[in-house]
Structure 1
Amino acid sequence: MATDYDAPRKTDEDVSEDSIEELKTRRNDKNSGKVDEDEVEAAEAFELPGADLSHEELTVRVLPRQADEFTCGSCFLVKAASQRAESRKGIDYCVDCV
């Protein structure tokens, strides 16, 4: 069991004052501090799979092809030029797909 040396120490007199009834009321007081959350308000924050997102708009900025990258002909991922393993019939392939 870990010991917190910074915590104030109780004397024998303090320990004897902690009766069972007092300890029970402290335990009940800890539960009374909990906040009741409105279930309806919490449920509105969650997005369900298959939800209608037709009113949402997605904005994507497409960058032009850079000189130091290529698109793999097998996995179709954009890779750095250093990942190019070989080129067959004008199609480049990355080191992961060869």
Structure 2
Amino acid sequence: MATDYDAPRKTDEDSSEESIEELKTRRHDKNSGKVDEDEAEAAESFELPGADLSHEELAVRVLPRQADEFTCSSCFLVHHRSQLANSKNGQLICRDCAA
């Protein structure tokens, strides 16, 4: 961007006065705080708590247990064998629950 070094420079007092005047004019402008947003589009993206989702179909493919996985007896999450912390009375515990 080119800069015109010959143009008169404004002092701090001049710029503050202009900004105060701009703020005063904006205060009286009723549309300055409004945002242009399509309400219908915005409403489609919101998920309300307790919304009726009975018409929605959920497709989940359940895989059988793999040889290198275990289910933690504390948090009941399936983890890889590398996350196994210890085993108490045949109960497998993950590293997160053992800590």
TM norm structure 2: 0.59
1:13-24 aligned within 5 A:
none
Matches within 5 A, 1:32-51: 36-51=36-51
Structure 1 residues 10 and 44, CA gap change in structure 2 (3 angstroms): same
Residue 92 (structure 1) aligns with: 92
Unaligned segments of structure 2, at least 5 residues: 10-17, 23-30
Call closer, same or farther: CA 1:42–1:13 in 2, change over 3 Å.
Answer: same
1:10 matched to 2:4? The reply is yes
How far is 1:83 from its partner?
1.9
How many percent identity over aligned positions? 66
Q: Size of the alignment, in residue pairs?
A: 80
Cα offset, 1:51, TM superposition = 1.0
* TM-score under structure 1 length normalisation: 0.59
